[in-house]
Amino acid sequence: MSKIIWGAGCLVTLAASAGAATNWYADQKLTGYYAQEALSKAAEDLDVKYSNIQLGMMQGSADWVMTFVPDPCKPKEAIVLQGQDQIQKKWNGYDIASRFTVQSGNEKIQSVFKGEQQIQTHISWLGNVKASVNLPRIDRQNDGAHLRLDPSTLYIYAAAPVQGEPKVSKIIFDMPALTVMQGQSQVLAQNIQFETTQGLNKKEISEGYTRFSIGAFQRVDNTFSGKIKNFEMLMDTQIKDGSVAIDSSLKMGEMVIPSTPLIKDAVIHLALSNIKPQRLAELSAVWEKSNKSCESSELMQADVSQAFLNLLNEGMDFKSENQLSMNAGTASAKLEGKMMPSHQGSISAFAQMLPNLLSFKANLAFDKNIYRSVMNNYTQAATGKMMTEQAIEQTFSAMESGGQAKRDGDQLKMLLDYQFGQKQFLDPNQN
């Protein structure tokens, strides 16, 4: 499991273990589960020891000590948690209240998790698990910077079969607000959420999605200020007919930055398909190894670069749909094509060869309002002048008469045909 997922790793694993333990309890095998210490076998860099196991028909308890090594290169900075599970039988399943304290670890971990912490877990009769980890407020000052994270919640969804290891199905992290202040500069982010179903149990490539969103982001500074609303990044992975498809998108409801018109409803979408799963698995394995390796970063970067190059050399299909609005104007770009297989020996050689490997058609469209906004912003900054309506009209007419575009009122449509380094403009109405 990658360090990204295991950043809160001991807490995630703890919640999943609670679910598995309770399902065994429902089958009157909880004693066996604790005795086998199955969790230590299921997760790397993790060791759990149980003691004082007391189980009854309606309730039970167990003490435990968990040792987690977040950085294999620094084994002395292992995090040690000591806690207790309180198990209660309910009409709709089982509830586990886990209490724990941090016994040792690096100074940052100990400063954040002061005192007793809690995890609440519910397990249905079918073995479905939902765990809630309440993370405390973080308020730190270091080197003149002040960092404040509001109390946050980590949700873990899992399934705990009677036989076999527990499987985590989804993780959601909710943070109401993050504030960073340094001197006259301030950054504020609100309604932050991270959600993923990928990479939670297996190292091999599997289907799933990852989503990251921020309700509002604002930076206030003497030199640069701006804000973004309704920001979202999404990546979805599907496996079908022996190939992998990755669908990704970036959305912004609104963006304001200095010397630029208001941008709204921006969407950047890219779908990659016909990716070789073997090459993607190799890249994933090398990346996982680099996260856990104590070798020099240069050696690991070389391995990652080679695995990435092997993936690119296999070729793939791609499709992209993009749009944005600016000052009542709109623009869109739709592109579909493929990158042919190749046999390049380095990333730099591949970059040089890339124009000759691409085949695609691109439909572009924009209107006078957005063209006026972009060009006026540029010309005013460069010359202090604004474009006249006559100059804009002349540009539109020249592009149409030159065969680069077709006009539809105040909108220009273009169809670019690109074939392995050669390009030409076609009639967009004939596509």
Predicted confidence at residue 274, as pLDDT, reads: 95
pLDDT number for residue 236: 95
Tell me how many degrees the CA angle 382-384-385 measures, rounded to the nearest 5.
Answer: 105
What local confidence, expressed as pLDDT, does residue 2 receive? 40
* Residue 421 resides in a domain: yes
- Helix, strand, coil fractions of the chain, as percent rounded to 5: 25, 50, 25
Is position 156 within any domain? yes
Q: Is residue 387 part of a domain?
A: yes
3-state secondary structure of 260: coil
The pLDDT value recorded for residue 145 is 85
346: in domain: no
Residue 83 placed within a domain: yes
Domains in the chain, number: 2
CA distance 155 to 193: 11
According to the model, what pLDDT value does residue 365 have? Answer: 94
Question: pLDDT at position 201, please?
Answer: 65
Residues of the chain with pLDDT under 70: 1-46, 105-106, 160-166, 201-204, 293, 295-299, 380-382, 384, 430-431
Find out whether 227 and 214 touch, Cβ atoms under 8 Å: no
Q: Rounded distance, CA 398 to CA 404, Å?
A: 9
- Residue 105 is predicted with a pLDDT of 67
- Domain annotation covers residue 33: yes
- Separation of CA 64 from chain center: 32
Q: Is the whole model's pTM more than 0.75, yes or no?
A: yes
Q: Where in the sequence is the domain holding 158, given as residue range(s)?
A: 1-134+151-168
**Is 400 inside a domain boundary?**
yes
Query: Would you call 314 exposed, middle or buried from its count of C-beta atoms within 10 A (0-12, 13-18, 19+)?
Result: middle
pLDDT of residue 249: 97
pLDDT digits (tens, 9 = 90+) for 191-221: 999 999 987 766 667 889 999 999 999 998 8
Q: For residue 202, what pLDDT is reported?
A: 61
Asked if 86 and 64 touch (Cβ cutoff 8 Å), the reply is no
